[in-house]
Amino acid sequence: MKYLYILLLCAFFVPIQSARAETLLLETVIEQALQHSPETARILNSFADADAEAFEIETLNNPTAEINATAIEDNASRSIGIEIEQPMRLSNFGSRGSYAYAVRRAANIEQKAQMLELIHSITRVYASYWALQEQEKILSDNVNYARKKQKLIRRAAKEGRVDASDAKVFEAEALRLEEQLRVMRARKVNGAANLLRMAGMDQTVFDAERPKSPKFPKLATLTSLAGNEGSIRSLLESRKALAERRYNVARQDAGFPEFAPRAVIEHDFDDDSTVILFGVNIAIPIWDRNNAELSRANSERRLAQSNLNALNEQNFVNVLAASFEKAKATQISASTYRNKIVPSWNDVQSLTDRKFKNGQASILDLFQMRERITGVQSEALQTYLNSIEARIELESLIGHSLTESKE
> Is the Cβ–Cβ distance between 196 and 34 less than 8 Å?
no
Reported confidence tier of residue 75, pLDDT bands at 50, 70, 90: low
Average pLDDT over residues 182-186: 94
Q: What is the C-alpha separation between 17 and 19, in angstroms, rounded? A: 6
Q: How many CB atoms lie within 10 A of CB 246?
A: 23
Residue 259 backbone dihedrals phi, psi, to 5 degrees: -140, 165
Q: Does the domain at residues 62-91+247-310 carry the CATH identifier 2.20.200?
A: yes
3-state SS string for the chain: CHHHHHHHHHHHHCCCCCCCCEEECHHHHHHHHHHHCHHHHHHHHHHHHHHHHHHHHHCCCCCEEEEEECCCCCCCCCEEEEEEECCECHHHCCHHHHHHHHHHHHHHHHHHHHHHHHHHHHHHHHHHHHHHHHHHHHHHHHHHHHHHHHHHHHHHHHCCCCCHHHHHHHHHHHHHHHHHHHHHHHHHHHHHHHHHHHHCCCCCCEEECCCCCECCCCHHHHHHHCCCCCCHHHHHHHHHHHHHHHHHHHHHHHHCCCEEEEEEEEEECCCCEEEEEEEEEECCCCCCCCHHHHHHHHHHHHHHHHHHHHCCHHHHHHHHHHHHHHHHHHHHHHHHHHHHHHHHHHHHHHHHHHHHHCCCCCHHHHHHHHHHHHHHHHHHHHHHHHHHHHHHHHHHHHCCCCCECCC
pLDDT of 11 reads 42
Q: How far apart are the first and last CA of the chain?
A: 60
pLDDT of 20 reads 59
- Is the pLDDT score of 213 beyond 60? yes
Least confident of 63-67, 230-234, 378-382: 230-234
- List strands edge to edge, sheet with 273-282: 64-69, 79-85, 259-268, 273-282
pLDDT of 288 reads 83
Report pLDDT digits (tens) over 151-179.
777 776 776 666 677 677 777 888 888 99
Provide the residue type at 329 as one letter.
A
pLDDT of 143 reads 87
pLDDT of 153 reads 74
Q: What is the C-alpha separation between 324 and 393, in angstroms, rounded? A: 9
Reported confidence tier of residue 16, pLDDT bands at 50, 70, 90: very low
pLDDT of 193 reads 92
Average pLDDT over residues 356-385: 85
Q: What is the C-alpha separation between 330 and 286, in angstroms, rounded? A: 64
pLDDT of 168 reads 76
State the Cα angle at 296 between 295 and 301, rounded to 5°: 95
Task: Determine what percent of the chain is predicted with pLDDT higher than 70.
Answer: 90
Close Cβ partners of 329 (under 8 Å, ≥ 6 residues apart): 390
Report pLDDT digits (tens) over 95-127.
999 999 999 999 999 999 999 999 999 999 999
pLDDT of 303 reads 95
Least confident of 21-35, 92-106, 354-368: 354-368
60, with CB counted inside 10 A (0-12, 13-18, 19+), is exposed
Taking the model in full, what pTM does it have?
0.82
Q: Identify the residue with better confidence: 401 or 9.
A: 401
Average pLDDT over residues 271-286: 90
Going from N- to C-terminal start, the domains of the chain cover 28-59+94-211, 62-91+247-310, 312-407
Report pLDDT digits (tens) over 300-324.
999 999 999 988 878 888 999 999 9
Q: What is the C-alpha separation between 246 and 299, in angstroms, rounded? A: 11
Q: Does the domain at residues 28-59+94-211 carry the CATH identifier 1.20.1600.10?
A: yes
pLDDT of 74 reads 58
Q: Do domains 28-59+94-211 and 62-91+247-310 have the same CATH topology?
A: no
- Is the pLDDT score of 2 beyond 60? no
- Is the pLDDT score of 9 beyond 50? no
Q: What is the C-alpha separation between 211 and 27, in angstroms, rounded? A: 9
Reported confidence tier of residue 17, pLDDT bands at 50, 70, 90: very low
- Is the pLDDT score of 225 beyond 50? yes
Q: What is the C-alpha separation between 381 and 383, in angstroms, rounded? A: 5
Q: Identify the residue with better confidence: 65 or 142.
A: 65
